[in-house]
Amino acid sequence: MLTIENLHAKVEGKHILKGIDLDVKAGEVHAIMGPNGSGKSTLSSVIAGHQDYEISQGTMLLEGEDLSEFAPEERAHKGIFLSFQYPVEIPGVSVTNFIKAAINASRKAKGFDDMAANEMLKKIREKSSLLEIDSRFLSRSLNEGFSGGEKKRNEIFQMAMLEPKLSILDETDSGLDIDALKIVANGVNKLRSNDNAIIVITHYQRLLEYIIPDFVHVLFDGKIVKSGTKDLAVELEEKGYDWIKEMA
Which amino acid, 166?
Answer: L
Residues near 70 by beta carbon (within 8 Å), at least 6 away in sequence: 49, 78
Q: How far is the CB of 88 from another protein (least distance, A)?
A: 5
Closest to another protein by CB, 196 vs 205, is 196
Q: How far is the CB of 218 from another protein (least distance, A)?
A: 26
Question: Exposed, middle or buried: residue 198 (CB in 10 Å: 0-12, 13-18, 19+)?
Answer: buried
C-alpha–C-alpha distance, residues 156 and 184, integer Å: 7
The answer to whether 22 and 217 are in contact (CB under 8 A) is: yes
Sites of contact with another protein (CB under 8 A): 48-51, 71-73, 75-77, 81-82, 84, 87-88, 90-93, 98, 101-103, 105-106, 109, 141-142, 158, 162
Closest to another protein by CB, 35 vs 87, is 87
Closest to another protein by CB, 103 vs 208, is 103
The string of DSSP codes covering 181-194 is HHHHHHHHHHH--S
Q: How far is the CB of 74 from another protein (least distance, A)?
A: 8
Q: How far is the CB of 82 from another protein (least distance, A)?
A: 5
Closest to another protein by CB, 33 vs 48, is 48
The answer to whether 24 and 166 are in contact (CB under 8 A) is: yes
